[in-house]
Amino acid sequence: MELIEIDYGLSDLGKAAEIVNVLRQLRPTDVDILYTAHRIYSDFSDETMLSLAMIAPNSARMHQLMGHELARQATDRAEAEKEYRAALAENPFDEKSLCKLGDIALRRSDLNSASDYYVRALKLEPNDVDANLGMARILMNRHEPTKAEPHLERAVQLEPFSPVSHYRLGVLYRELGRPDDAHRELAEFEKLKKMKARLGDIYQQMRLQPGKQDQPDTDLP
């Protein structure tokens, strides 16, 4: 499970999924493993949707996918909110459910409710990356970049390989009139985005050509 979190933190969903698949076979009724599997598979779904949107934004498949997502979200969001509230009623210290409820409130532009959820989550776990990112989004929406700054800086410190955190911090620095810091963070964002794409390509090549990684690296410069 620790190795999964390391791979997940490095945005290597492929390796994380391979490990969680093995764990599911070994312990098919372990609730922690099942939850982790769902989280990774959900991120995989989001990643493939983003890839399709970048490669073929006006394709028939993209329109089909968007139609499916819109239809699903219209019903799933209310159901998801109900489930997170139930989880929170059972365990008031569940900061992950608080973060998810904050995300749902933020999507419907209910900034006050979202802020309440993120504040509660941060009190329980100040190092929760999602709570810090969520709170920063609230403060940016309220045009309070100075208050958002420590949350985004903390998120980058906690997940230095997260492109999203660097991008949002770069935008914040630009708004605060700090062009050098903004340039540094946006450059890091571009570097991590390219690295993530390159790792994805390498992983795909390794899967398509099994065993090649075990051969001598005679073709390396």
pTM: 0.61
Instruction: State whether the Cα torsion 140-159-31-39 is positive or negative.
Output: positive
- CB of 76 within 8 A of CB of 96? no
**pLDDT digit string (tens) for 53-101?**
778 777 767 766 666 566 566 666 777 788 788 888 888 888 888 998 9
Q: Is the pLDDT of residue 214 over 50?
A: no
**pLDDT digit string (tens) for 93-106?**
888 889 989 998 99
> Is residue 204 very low, low, confident or very high in pLDDT (cuts 50, 70, 90)?
low
**pLDDT digit string (tens) for 14-36?**
788 888 889 988 888 888 888 88
Please state, in angstroms and rounded to a whole number, the distance separating the CA atoms of residues 104 and 86: 15
Tell me, what amino acid is at 156?
A: V
Vertex 152: Cα angle to 149 and 155 (nearest 5): 150
Give percent of the chain with pLDDT exceeding 90. 34
Give percent of the chain with pLDDT exceeding 70. 81
Please state, in angstroms and rounded to a whole number, the distance separating the CA atoms of residues 188 and 97: 30
The pLDDT score that the predictor gives to residue 208 is: 54
Q: Is the pLDDT of residue 171 over 60?
A: yes
User: Largest Cα–Cα distance of the chain, in whole Å?
Assistant: 59
Side-chain-side CA neighbours of residue 135 (13 Å): 26
The pLDDT score that the predictor gives to residue 137 is: 94
Q: Is the pLDDT of residue 177 over 90?
A: yes
The pLDDT score that the predictor gives to residue 144 is: 95
Written as one string, the DSSP assignment of 85-145 is HHHHHH-TT-HHHHHHHHHHHHHTT-HHHHHHHHHHHHHH-TT-HHHHHHHHHHHHHTT-H
Q: Is the pLDDT of residue 220 over 50?
A: no
